[in-house]
Amino acid sequence: MNINLNLSTTQHSTMQHTMLNKTQSQHLFAKAKEIIPGGVNSPVRAFKAVGGNPIFMKSAKGAYLIDEDNNTYIDLIGSWGPMILGHAFPAIENAIFEAVKGSTSFGAPSRREVEMAELIVEMVPSIEKVRMVNSGTEACMSAIRAARGYTGRNKIVKFEGCYHGHGDSFLIAAGSGAITNGEPDSLGVTTGVANDTLTAPYNDLSFVEKLVAANHHQIACIIIEPVVGNMGCVLPKAGFLQGLRDICTKNNIVLIFDEVMTGFRLAKGGAQERFGIVPDMTTLGKIIGGGLPVGAYGGKTEIMDCISPVGKVYQAGTLSGNPVAMAAGLAMLNHLNSHPEVYTYLDAITEKMAKGIEVGAAKLGVNFTVNQIGSMYSLFFTASKVTNLEQAKTANTAQFGRYFNNMLERGVYLAPSQYESLFVSAAITHDIADAIIAASNESLAMALD
């Protein structure tokens, strides 16, 4: 182990920091690059944006990750969200072991799927009916198809900087005629698809009004991250979400909250509970699977009943509602549903960390903005407020890259990009939070030169 993270804060911050031993990680990465594109199965895991090579993880427990060279890190990604209770949470592990004994897949309906649907409908009241899928991407792709089937309209509206998975319709940037159609943001996405996706700047209600007026009776749905995690953590301005709700109601547009990240994280009922807004549909993922590959989409009965086999919108999945995945998700959601104090704790500990990091950055005279809500936060290296993608892009990403690597050397594993939110888990104790703040202060000082 490189740094003993169980030491007290003072010991932690005064330790000598040697360069990490990365022998095994480097060996694995060299091999991986030859047979896996870029050596990674999802591009966010690459260290392209921060410099250096990815670290290969071996195991994890509570707040800590352990890599193939036996270095230990405080984990601030939590598998990009799912690990809200920390790694290897006993109730989830046990539920998985128990489920495996009764088969890993049936391809027929099973009891846990009903229990899961009941729990989701209870925790997220805007959802009257729900369909399980295998990822957040699938949930979002399926939700817009249902919205199109329900309304009989083709176009969708998304916001710049929001991510809804890698479905073709979402990999779209603003086009030159920005209020009429978008442009492909990835090779392999056709202009035909891009024509049906309109984009708007986040937090810009009057732009959305113009968009809706210019595309009268053509817009099936507006899909949005009610709190954004995918351009770094960005909050909705007061009145923005309610404004979207009103526009959608007035124009018979389906409002979809993509709560793949915020669902079961910002409150047990997600961002919609926290902000008191009722969407027509909701997409879920990440936490809902307790670390296994699960997604879900749901909403009003009259929309969900457009889905096959009731209606004519086709959507299916061989492994959807998988018994092992349902067991993990049920254990996770049952724990969150019966322990509301988890959210009170997460809010407090994250606010303390964000404040501590903010104070340290202010002392050093760094240009920075900290955005935080519940257990999500981002430190942007810019003096600008960050309320949309354009402002997020003013961040000094080279400085972030140095900060990231300094934190890694100090045993803190951040998301390897300026444009990601960090996720705090309930396994982060006050001592660990103090150690993170101390590491941040040292890393910031070094990131300046």
Ligand X SMILES: *Cc1c(COP(=O)(O)O)cnc(C)c1O
Residues in touch with ligand X (CB under 6 A): 135-137, 140, 163-165, 225, 229-230, 258, 260-261, 285, 295
Using the minimum distance from each CB to ligand X, give the nearer residue, 163 or 380.
Answer: 163
Torsion angle, alpha carbons of 247, 120, 270, 45, to 10: -110
Using the minimum distance from each CB to ligand X, give the nearer residue, 79 or 369.
Answer: 79
In contact, 274 and 266? CB cutoff 8 Å? yes
Using the minimum distance from each CB to ligand X, give the nearer residue, 2 or 137.
Answer: 137
Using the minimum distance from each CB to ligand X, give the nearer residue, 417 or 443.
Answer: 417
Least distance between ligand X and beta carbon 363 (Å):
33
Q: Which residues are catalytic?
A: 163, 258, 286
Sign of the alpha-carbon torsion through 380, 383, 387, 392? negative
Least distance between ligand X and beta carbon 376 (Å):
11
Least distance between ligand X and beta carbon 24 (Å):
27
Distance CA 201, CA 208 (A): 8
Enter the DSSP assignment of 269.
T
Using the minimum distance from each CB to ligand X, give the nearer residue, 25 or 199.
Answer: 199
Least distance between ligand X and beta carbon 134 (Å):
8
Range 2-6, long-range pairs (CB < 8 A, 24+ positions): 2/70, 2/71, 2/72, 2/411, 3/71, 3/72, 3/410, 3/411, 4/72, 5/64, 5/72, 5/73, 5/74, 5/411, 5/432, 5/435
**Residue ranges in 65-202 assigned as alpha helix (H):** 90-100, 111-123, 136-151, 191-194
Give the type of residue at 408: L
Give the type of residue at 321: G
Least distance between ligand X and beta carbon 356 (Å):
26
Residue nearest to ligand X (CB): 136
